[in-house]
Amino acid sequence: MNLKKNKIGLLGGTFDPPHKGHLAISKEAARRFKLKNVIWAITKKNPFKKQSSLKLSLRIKYCKEIIKKFSFIKVIFYEDKIKSNKTINLINYLRRDKSSEIYFIMGADNLINFHKWHKWREISKKCNIVVFDRFGYKKKSLNSTTYKKLNKENLKFIEFNKVNISSSQLRKI
């Protein structure tokens, strides 16, 4: 019996603030990999950054406003449920559903320091990693420790019509 996997995209982050770039890569990942859903997993705080500028409740609200026309995208805060903000713990939680195949979505800027993430090698073994090119990050991400050490079967580097925007830029406005 051939059981078809339920393909789920996972885009994690602070979404401080959410923007059309998050939406663009979610839509592109869903189209390219035939994802049933894309989960925007919001974290209270990125362990590599300072405190978020917007409260969690506002970030969730803004995310829901951006995705309201796209029912395949779900905004979920898991940290209270799984008692962790670690990506590997969220992936393990989502993998309890054996029929799911996870596509972890990130920007090329995140690939550069991915080797510093908690259990990064384990993350790469438990899901497909989909890296979207971002302006100014391609060369550095393709030369990163992570890119050099990960199995390229699990890692897909996606070039597409990039949206030149970032949460960091928006916070400066």
pLDDT block averages, 10 residues each, the chain of length 173: 80 94 96 97 87 91 97 97 96 94 95 95 95 91 92 86 56 49
Question: What's the whole-model pTM score?
Answer: 0.89
How many C-beta atoms surround the C-beta of residue 48 within 10 A?
9
Residue 104 CB burial class (10 angstroms; 0-12, 13-18, ≥19):
buried
Q: How is residue 6 written in tokens? A: 């339920």
Strand partners, 6: 100
